[in-house]
């Protein structure tokens, strides 16, 4: 226990205490420290995200356990065990590189993408591009369903989350694809009745139950799907796309208003202008705010440095 106390005392004096003194003398160094920590956390998060769904995940957990065991054996002065574990770790690095060479290459390729850094500043071109692609896929599915007069109801979540609605359906968490959307609404299949909710560029759930708009809000000739589409568009900022089973016509519900008999090109414009363009503008505003805050912080440190020099 004494050894642990000494190690903690040394760590405090050599690292934490020295950093505190350094900040007091040179406040600008704080920016370097924040940047250093941010980069390390970012790289660690990306690495964990990449390996989490791969066969390397179990290995990562085993390595973490091995590191902890090695550290504990050193603290408790278990010299033989510590020697064996340290030797195993030295050879283990070489074995990991050989066995998981494809995963390591893929991870490095993903980390090397320039869009990883633009995402950090709030301007994610990957998400914008994927959202456009998803919209095109949804439109293809909608008009394939309309051609066959297959009733459908698709809700596209925007800023206001509708997790309570998603919870009423069958979880899917699937990539958006025209084939899957068409297949979901095939009559007499388990998921055809209810709404599909698309959230965060995923088909979050199917067979979801939506709140119905009151009778006076819509024409009497419109059915339950249209009432449900209007209902969810009134209670959130989501956009609902409805395919009529009787006529095969496509309608869009937005902000409590129903736009009936929408053409394919018009549907694309409605979705892109209300989802992609809106998201792009919001991300640009966030990016500008972050840059402004960073610039203000930098100017503040410069001012403090000048004050210290004058003293």
Tell me what pLDDT residue 232 has. 93
Per-residue pLDDT of the chain (311 residues; tens, 9 = 90+): 445 555 556 665 666 666 666 666 666 666 776 787 888 888 777 777 766 655 566 677 777 788 888 888 888 888 888 888 888 777 766 776 776 666 666 556 555 544 444 444 444 557 788 889 999 999 999 999 999 999 999 999 988 889 999 999 999 999 999 999 999 999 988 898 899 999 989 999 999 999 988 766 566 677 889 999 999 998 898 999 999 999 999 999 998 889 999 999 999 999 998 888 766 655 555 665 665 666 666 666 566 656 666 65
Tell me what pLDDT residue 262 has. 94
Tell me what pLDDT residue 183 has. 95
Q: Which residues of 175-184 are buried (b: 16+ CB within 10 A; e: fewer)?
A: ebebebbbeb
Query: Sheet of 257-259: strands edge to edge?
Result: 170-174, 202-208, 195-199, 152-156, 239-243, 250-254, 257-259
Three-class SS of residue 174? strand
Burial (0-12, 13-18, 19+ Cβ within 10 Å), 58: exposed
Q: Which helix (H) or strand (E) holds 155?
A: strand 152-156
Q: Measure the CA–CA gap between 88 and 75, rounded to whole angstroms.
A: 18
The two tokens of residue 54 are 């791969």
DSSP 169: S
**Contacts of 167 by beta carbon, 8 Å cutoff, 6+ apart:** 205
- Kindly give the interhelix angle for 277-310 and 29-52, rounded to the nearest 10 degrees: 150
CATH number of the 125-274 domain: 3.40.1700.10
**Domain limits, the chain:** 2-120, 125-274
The two tokens of residue 270 are 């409605």
């Amino acid at each position: 226990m004494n050894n642990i106390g000494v190690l903690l005392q040394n760590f405090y004096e050599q690292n934490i205490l020295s950093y505190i003194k350094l900040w007091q003398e040179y406040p600008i160094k704080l920016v370097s420290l924040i940047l250093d920590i941010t980069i390390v956390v970012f790289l660690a998060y990306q690495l964990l995200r990449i390996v989490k769904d791969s066969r390397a995940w179990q290995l990562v957990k085993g390595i973490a356990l091995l590191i902890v065991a090695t550290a504990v054996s050193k603290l408790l002065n278990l010299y033989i065990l510590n020697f064996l574990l340290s030797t195993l770790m030295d050879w283990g690095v070489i074995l990991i590189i050989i066995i998981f060479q494809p995963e390591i290459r893929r991870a490095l390729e993903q980390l090397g993408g320039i869009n990883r850094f633009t995402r950090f500043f709030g301007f994610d071109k990957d998400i914008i591009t994927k959202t456009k692609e998803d919209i095109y896929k949804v439109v293809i599915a909608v008009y394939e369903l309309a051609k066959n007069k297959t009733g459908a109801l698709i809700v596209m979540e925007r800023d206001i989350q509708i997790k309570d609605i998603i919870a009423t359906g069958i979880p899917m968490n699937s990539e958006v694809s025209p084939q899957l959307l068409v297949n979901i609404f095939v009559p007499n299949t388990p998921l055809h009745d209810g709404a599909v909710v698309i959230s965060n560029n995923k088909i979050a759930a199917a067979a979801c139950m939506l709140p119905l708009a009151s009778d006076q809000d819509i024409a009497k000739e419109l059915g339950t799907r249209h009432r449900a589409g209007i209902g969810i568009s009134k209670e959130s900022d989501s956009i609902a796309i409805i395919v009529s089973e009787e006529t095969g016509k496509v309608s869009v519900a937005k902000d409590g208003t129903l736009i009936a008999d929408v053409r394919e090109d018009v549907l694309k414009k409605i979705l892109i202008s209300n989802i992609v363009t809106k998201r792009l503008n919001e991300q640009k505003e966030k990016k500008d705010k972050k840059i402004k805050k960073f610039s203000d912080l930098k100017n503040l440190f410069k001012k403090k440095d000048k004050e210290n020099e004058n003293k």
